[in-house]
Amino acid sequence: MVNDRAEKYRSRVRKPDDFDAFWDHVLRQAAAIPLEAEVVPDPLRTSEDVEVFQVFYTSIDHVRVAAWYCRPARRAERTPAVMLLPGYQMDPPIPKEWARKGYVALSVAPRGKLRSNRQFNPGYPNLLTHNIVDRHTYAYRGFYVDTWRGIDFLLSRPEVESTRIGVTGSSQGGGLTITTAAMRPEVRAASAGAPYLCGFADAIEITHTYPYEEINDYLRLYPERRADVEATIAYFDGINFADRISCPIIVNIGLQDNVCPPETGYTLFERIGAADKRLYPYDGHGHDAGRARHSGIADDFFARHLLGREVRP
Amino acid sequence: MTPYWDDVLAALARYPARPEIEALPLRSTAFATLYGVRLTSLGPYRLFGYLSIPAGAGPFPAIYYPPKYQSVLEIIPQGTANLQRSRYVTFSLAGRGQRNADTPYSAMFPGLLTEGLDDPASYVFRSIAADSVRGLEFLLARREVDRRRVVVAGNDIALMTAALTPGATHVVATPALFYRTAELAPKTHAYPLEEINDYLHLHPARADAVRRTLAHYDLLGFAPRVTSATLLMAGAPGTLLDGSALRPLATALRGPASVYESQQSLYKDGLHSERWMAEQCGITDVQSILPQAWQDATHF
């Protein structure tokens, strides 16, 4: 049964008037900080077919961010790249399987994640509400920039084909895919699964599961801060970034998603500015967003847009 | 158990738990109070857990979430309705190395699975198994817990814990780490088992030592001591740990066992385990503590 209620949902998310000015200022602040990238070979994780490196670079507030970087041992001089963005609670994976598909792959650990938590470590649960009353210091200000700086890292690499960069992730990784595709025009293809951080204000009313429940916990203890919280999250809502996306994009959602409600996925998709966009709603699926059925579609999508291969009709 | 595990349990017994319990108002609701718990395990090493107690008169059925294979410690698993805490005592424990229990040892993911792997005496999961036993001991000592209804829900550690110490009446286990590991790891490139492949690729001379260590951890060795009713959550058909792969494990369990094969849907799989736990614990209105998005459940 298709979830009609979700499709017809009317979102509460509104874009602040100075949204673009806020983020343009953040981008200028970030651009003033040198990347200072380190690329350290990891012999333990390297195999005959995939070279693995630990990467570190500097992001806004001078926070050092870690990432895993994989590349096919046999590759063209310049190779298409995919950046993978992590879920809220997951530890960023080593993206060997993307290298095996023929991409250079970067898996970012934004601030607070394992290996990127020496200077910033609000913990889990807590990240979602860390400084949530102040958009200038809210946890996701730096967290978002950390992922965008991953694109700068890829552009700095001589082996990366800079006109063929894709972004993907699921859950928080899906939300970060939206914000990255919106803010970095170098992204040429994006695939977002079960996007989190999209429709904060809607999600905390629709669902009572973590991580969104962190905000309900916070407002229960500090009800007088609701206006400040709502003001902040509007600047970080992926739905408000979506009209800036111009690259081809696919979005998959689960119609029984108990973490990121499908209502928010439909709203997000409607707001995406790209002409080449497609939504895949999976009935009978939860926060997996139909991953097992969808992975082949995502592979074909990136192969078409980044590798230049025509695949299954 | 075996002398190896007898030694672990004897060593653990030398360290009293000495729990410290502190209410956490931020995560407490009208229907449940959350506490942060610190307690001592083998080493000695100080651990951390989240204990949630329902409002009202107990005792209540309990769900113990032993250490998972990730850095983050959750209060309840992501996606679980917070209302689960209104009906069950829940206790989630960070094993050493996980967040909140990462001083002085901070684990890496990936990395933990091969930490000290070439020596059974130093393998990190020797201590993590002890941590998990300590967590269950702590939970069982709580007066709010109905000891006739105690579910241990997690990965391989859940099954090991039920074998190593009495008290688990039910187990929900999703094997991922220690079932025929030496045999299955070479058949996959997926983490966490790929950690074993990485390790042996760099240290091929240690293959025999690794096999010896892993032999102490194979779930088939624990199964005959598990008397709890057990639900084994298998992978989807055709995957490495699918229903047919886990059948020998189910057969080896001493208590009643059933195998559920994943439908590759977190909704369908999650709903099955939630219903199973509720049924086993005598909770007749499970619908009221399911996530909102699952309450229609029109797919069954």
pLDDT, tens digit, 9 for 90 and up, residues A31-58: 999 999 999 999 999 999 999 999 999 9
How close, in Å, is residue A249 to chain B by CA atoms? Answer: 23
Give residue-wise pLDDT tens across range A70-108: 999 999 899 999 999 999 999 999 999 999 999 999 999
Alpha carbon distance B243, A25 (integer Å)? 54
> Does the structural domain A4-306 have CATH classification 3.40.50.720?
no
Alpha carbon distance B124, B116 (integer Å)? 6
Rounded to the nearest integer, the mean pLDDT of chain A is: 96
Give residue-wise pLDDT tens across range A101-129: 999 999 999 999 999 999 999 999 999 99
Q: Give DSSP secondary structure letters for A212-241.
A: THHHHHHHHH-GGGHHHHHHHHHHH-HHHH
Q: Which of A146, A237, A257, A288 is catalytic?
A: A257
**Residue written as token pair 């879920």:** A87
Q: Is A283 a catalytic residue?
A: no
Distances (CA, A) of B195 to A42, A84, A142, B115: 13, 20, 31, 10
Q: What is the pLDDT of residue A8?
A: 87
Give residue-wise pLDDT tens across range A163-222: 999 999 999 999 999 999 999 999 999 999 999 999 999 999 999 999 999 999 999 999
Ranges of chain B with pLDDT below 50: none
End-to-end CA distance of chain A: 27
Please report the residues numbered 199 through 218 in chain A whose beta carbons come closer than 8 angstroms to any beta carbon of chain B: 206-211, 213, 217-218
Q: Is A191 a catalytic residue?
A: no
Q: Which of A96, A124, A215 to mutate to test the interface with B (most CBs of B within 10 A)?
A: A124
Q: State the ipTM, two decimals.
A: 0.96
Provide the pLDDT confidence category of residue A7 given band limits of 50, 70 and 90: confident
> Does the structural domain B3-285 have CATH classification 3.40.50.620?
no
Give residue-wise pLDDT tens across range B230-245: 999 999 999 999 999 9
| Token couple for A51 | 């070279």
Domain boundaries, chain B: 3-285
Q: What is the pLDDT of residue A312?
A: 59
Q: What is the pLDDT of residue A4?
A: 78
Taking the Cβ of residue A295 and every Cβ of chain B, the question of whether any pair is shorter than 8 Å is answered with no
